[in-house]
Structure 1
Amino acid sequence: MSSEQRTHGAPTTPDARTTLVIGGTGKTGRRVAERLTARGLPVRIGSRSAQPAFQWESPATWDAALDGVGAVYLTYYPDLGFPGAAETVGAFARTAVERGVRRLVLLSGRGEEGARRSEDAVRASGADLTVVRSSWFAQNFDEGMFVDSVRAGEIALPVGDSVEPFVDVEDIADVAVTALTDDRHIGRTYELSGPRLLSLTEVAAELTRAVGREVRYVPVTRDDFRAVLEGAGMPLDFLELIDLMTGGRNAHVVHGVEEALGRPARDFSAYARDAAARGTWKE
C-alpha cells in the first residue's frame, strides 16, 4: 500500500502488536496508555520502574522494551530541544525500525529549533511518523512544576505580559491515540494549542475563579528564576523553554486539535474547573 493510500484511505485496523508508551507514567503518556488500554489494545510502559525497564541514557535497555512492539508513542525527557536529544532519539528510532516497529508518534514542541533537529533525526529512521507539536501544557499548573505555586497563591515567572495558547493534555492524548491507530495521520505534523491566548495574569484570574481564592501572577527576573531552578536541582535549559513564551514565537493559536479530531480544542477555563473539582489545589 502506498503512502498516498495510507494517508488518505479508510482507517485501518490498529496493529495488534504492543504499543510502547515512553514516559507512560507522565502527563501525556499516562493518558495515552489509558486510552489504548480502554480500546483493548496491548500497551507496554517505557519507564525506569517498568518491567522491562527503559532508560534513555542506557541503550542496552531499548531492545527488551521494543520486543514485540509494533508502534511507539515517543516522548523524551527533559525536552527534545535540549543538547544531545536529537542524537539519542534518532538512535532509538533507528533501533525501533530495525526491530520491526512500523509506526512512531513523536511529541515535540512548538517553536523549538532544537526540537526540529530531533524531529528530523526520528524522521530519518524511515518509520511511519506523525509529529505532534505542543504548546505549553495547561497541566503544568496542577501536575507539573507550578502546582505548589498555585496552592500558595502566587505564580512567579520571568515572562512579563507575554501570552501563550495553553493546550490541555487531554487533547494531546486524544490526538496521539488517533495517530497511533489510524494510518490517515502518517506523515502529518499537527501543531496543537488551546483556543485562545492567555497572559499569566489571565491564567491567574482563571485559576482564582476555579479555586475560589486568590492566585496572583508575580513577574520576576530571569536571574531570580534561574536561582529557583538551581535550588530545585532542575536543568537550566528550562530557561530556554521560558524564553519561547517571552520571544513570542508561539503567540498565536493553531488548529491541530481540530484538524486531527474534528472538534475544537479544550479551553483553559474548562481545564481549571476540572482540576479544582478534583481537589488538586487544596491547601
Structure 2
Amino acid sequence: YGLPALLAGIRLNPGAVDPLIYKNWFWWGLDMVADGNVLMYTAGTWYLLVPLLVNRKLYGEQVVRTVILADLLVSMFVWSHHLLGDRPQPLGLLILSGQFVTWGEFVTMGLTIFAVMMTIWKARPVKLSVPLRFVLGSIFSFIIGGVAGLIQANVGLSVVLHNTQWVVGIHAHMMLLGGLSMLIFAVIYALLPMLTGLEARSQRLASWHFWAWMGGAVVMAYAMGLAGIQGMLRRTIYTNGLYRPHMAVALVGGVLLMVGLVAFVANLVVTLGVRNVVELFLPRRLAPEPAGE
C-alpha cells in the first residue's frame, strides 16, 4: 500500500484487505523462514558437521532425511502461534495450528538432536574439539529455547506471556544467540583449517569465546525471561525502575557476549593475520595484465 502512494501518488483503500487475513498471510510466510528455514538449516548443518568432526556416519541417516521433510511440512502449518494473543483469530486455528501442530516441531527437532547425540555417543572416545564444543552449545541452547517455545505455544499461557520479555528473552534469544550463533561459530572453526590449513592459534581465546558467549546468552535470556514472567512488556519504557535489577543482569549477559565476540575476532586475527582478515571484507584488486598478453 505504501509503494503506489510513494511512487505514483496513488492511494489504495487500506480497508480493501481484511486485517486478520493479512496477519495470517504475513505470519505464514515469515514463519516459513523463522521456523522452517532456520530449523532445517540447523538440522542440515548438524547432520553434515558432526559426522565430519567425530569421523562416524550419521546415526539413523535414512530416518533423519524423512525427519527434515517432516519438519518442512510441520513448519507450513504452525504460523498461528504468532497470533495466540489475537482474540479475533478463530479458536480452531489457535488450538490446532498455534498449539498442537506447533508442538510437532518439538518432535522433529527432538529426533534431530537424538540422532546427532547418538552419532557422538557411538563415536566414543571423541576429542572435544573447539567446533564440537560449539555444536554441543548450540544443541543445549536449542533445547532451552525450544522448551520455552513449547511452553508459550499454549492458548492459556499465551494470555500471560504474550508480548512480554519472556518471548524475546528465553525463547528468541536462546534460539538465536545461543543456538544459531553458536552453530555458525562451530562452522567457522571447522572450516578454518579446511580452507586455510591453519587451526585456531589460541585455544585459550577459543575457550574464552565459548564460555563468555554461552554464559552471556544464558544470563541475558533468563534475566529477560524472569522479567517477562513478572509482567515486563517488550517495546515498553519503564521509568520507575520496576524491572531495573532484571535489566542490569541482562546487561551483564550482554557484556559477556561482547567479551566472547572480541575473543573470537582476536583469535581470527592472530591466526590469519590482520591483512588477511581485512581482505576478507576488502579484497585486493587484481593487477592489470601487461599489454599484448
Tell me if TM exceeds 0.5: no
Question: Over alpha carbons, which structure has the higher Rg?
Answer: 2
Tell me: higher relative CO, structure 1 or 2? Use CA pairs within 8 A at least 6 residues apart: 1
Q: Greater share of helix residues, 1 or 2?
A: 2
TM-score normalised to structure 2 length:
0.29
TM-score normalised according to structure 1 size: 0.30
